[in-house]
A = this chain, B = another copy of it.
Amino acid sequence: MAASTELRELTVELGERSYPILIGTDLLKRTGDLFLKRGFPVKAPVLLVTDSAVEHLYASTVEESLRQAGYNVTRAVVSSGEKSKSLGVFDDLITAALEAGLDRKSTVIALGGGVVGDLAGFVAAAYMRGIRFVQIPTTILAHDSSVGGKVAVNHRLAKNIIGAFHQPEFVLYDLDTLKSLPMREVRAGYAEVIKHGLIWNEEFVNWCDERAEQLLALDSDSLGHALYEGCKVKSIVVSRDERENDLRAILNLGHTIGHALEAVAGYNELLHGEAISIGMVGSARLAEKFGYDPGIAEETERLFRKFGLPVRIPAHYATDSIMEAMMHDKKFAEGKMVFVVPKAIGEVEIRGDVPVEWVRGIVEGLKEESGK
């Protein structure tokens, strides 16, 4: 790995399921070599899952690299967007895997953003009860889903409700692929990067604040560092709690409200990063209700605004629908509302005693027309 000077490598420590995340430039063409180095059997067919937005940009580079290394690879393309994270598309991919002759030694590659990662990951988790999985994320947001092994599809009543824990063999983060991202997705991606700072690392939050301009301009070195630090926080948390018994839940900062907003929006209007940006402002307001750091809501809001992210709930989202969507969310256990609450920048707490009325009040206060 000495050839590329900018290559960053991080290991997600999970005992015998540990795996590396490689972050650098010009990496796609090294896919085949990495497969060989890590002992993936050449005879076992590979399924490359990608989406209609990413396919024409990068699929052939990955395939060529694999073919040169001797692998038999079949491409499966799903429609771009959250709607592909369904049981129906999952079924289509299982069919594709069977038709491509995938066996127990085969690999499923996810080439794309979080949707492709979650979907292809669940295919890898369930096909023959689990085969190899490799992630090649092409969005900033996917830095989050590429660590920790959470894979899933949605159900019409709730997001990510059908899934598994299935760790990848490795993650290949080619920074070049991020240059093609629409600006809106770049901003949304940073919401999750900043979240990792907010829950664990104040210094990194300050660094993001100072580097906002370079980050939004996708300067390779700043971006590489941000992804490395974001992955590192997540990796530390996941290593200590793989199955979300306790600690791992802190990663859900902003997600209870965020998921509800996405559900109400029909998985289309709001990007995930936008939804949790609003959700994190909500969590910070909750923190103030609990009497923690009194300036934290304003500070959180300022930071997200700096990255061009939304901090208010669109006016036409009905409060009742948002509240109802939360009741179906995983964070709702045994009749009480559970929230991750930021005690200070870089530190969170899980509160299982959040009154429903507080949440309703905060949701209403975040509505666009009601201002701050």
Contact = CB atoms under 8 A, between A and B. Distances in A.
Contacts of A87: 87, 90-91
A33 to B, nearest CB: 21
A94 B161 contact: yes
A372 interface: no
A98 B330 CA distance: 10
B128 A98 contact: no
A259 B103 CA distance: 16
A78 to B, nearest CB: 16
A94 B87 CA distance: 11
A158 B98 contact: yes
A240 interface: no
Interface string A311-353: 0000000000000000010101111000000000000000000
Contacts of A328: 98
The 9 closest A-B pairs by CB, nearest first: A43-B334, A103-B333, A129-B163, A98-B157, A126-B162, A128-B330, A87-B91, A94-B155, A129-B164
18 contacts: A87-B87, A87-B91, A91-B155, A98-B158, A98-B328, A103-B333, A104-B330, A105-B334, A125-B164, A126-B126, A126-B164, A128-B330, A129-B150, A129-B163, A129-B164, A129-B165, A130-B164, A130-B165
